Amino acid sequence: MVSLTTTTDNYFLALTLPSHTTEQLIQWRATALPADTGTPVPREQLYMVLAWMNAPTVSQLTQLQSMISGLRSPSFTFTLNDAGYWPRSGQLWVGCRPAPRELLQLADLLRSRAARVGCPQPTFPFHPHVTLLRQVPTSIRLPKRDFSWPVTCQEVSLIRSRYQRRRIILNTEQHYPLFDREQD
């Protein structure tokens, strides 16, 4: 008999934000946007996805983890200084403009590794962003981009995402450090 309550685990590789940056994003969202603008993304879901794996097999995850643990990507800093809205998905986001080369290279590398083990990646270009609100109405007026939050990236996290009982449950499975330029 097939269960109708089956849950699927999806995984993604992401840059998690430092707690002080997360607090600044939450404060900015609360003051710059009307309270009824959309559904706020919970604090623990404020991250920047670099690569996505839709329901990977154990074998795919094992291969991917092996590939990623051997990476020698440098740590880097980017600045969250841009905001936008995607009407099709109803998401309001903050991102970086311009995106540093190291961030784009890391995302490209992780996406190619995920694709190599059989986890297809989106065909559209990578756009570094952190989603702040979902279900945002098309009538949204974007607030002034009067912010600038520097973020130092020192690791990439492998996060498991499971939709269960009408909630998204996240669990960080592994951290992969980025090396310090001075150490290499």
Per-residue pLDDT reduced to its tens digit, 102-115: 999 999 999 999 99
Whether the pLDDT of residue 158 is over 90: the answer is yes
Where residue 90 falls (left for φ over 0; alpha for ψ -120 to 50; beta otherwise) is left
Whether the pLDDT of residue 76 is over 80: the answer is yes
In the numeric block, which tokens belong to residue 138?
A: 């098309």
Per-residue pLDDT reduced to its tens digit, 14-70: 999 999 999 999 999 999 998 888 999 999 999 999 999 999 999 999 999 999 998
> What is the largest distance, in Å, between two alpha-carbon atoms of the chain?
57
C-alpha 53/C-alpha 120 separation (Å) is 7
Amino acid at 163: Y
C-alpha 147/C-alpha 158 separation (Å) is 29
Q: Which residues contact 62 (CB under 8 A, 6 or more apart)?
A: none
Q: What is the pLDDT of residue 179?
A: 84
What is the radius of gyration, based on Cα positions, of the chain? 17
Q: What is the pLDDT of residue 71?
A: 84
The number of helices, as runs of H, and strands, as runs of E, in the chain is 3, 10
Domain covering 9-183, topology: Cyclic Phosphodiesterase; Chain: A, (3.90.1140)
pLDDT, the chain, mean: 90
Amino acid at 39: T
What is the CB-side half-sphere exposure of residue 157 using CA atoms within 13 A? 19
What pLDDT band is residue 4 in, cutting at 50, 70 and 90? Answer: very low
Amino acid at 63: Q
pTM assigned to the model? 0.88
Pick the residue with more confidence: 168 or 133?
Answer: 133
What pLDDT band is residue 144 in, cutting at 50, 70 and 90? Answer: confident
What pLDDT band is residue 166 in, cutting at 50, 70 and 90? Answer: confident
Per-residue pLDDT reduced to its tens digit, 120-136: 998 888 999 999 999 99
Minimum mean pLDDT range among 37-41, 78-82, 163-167 = 163-167
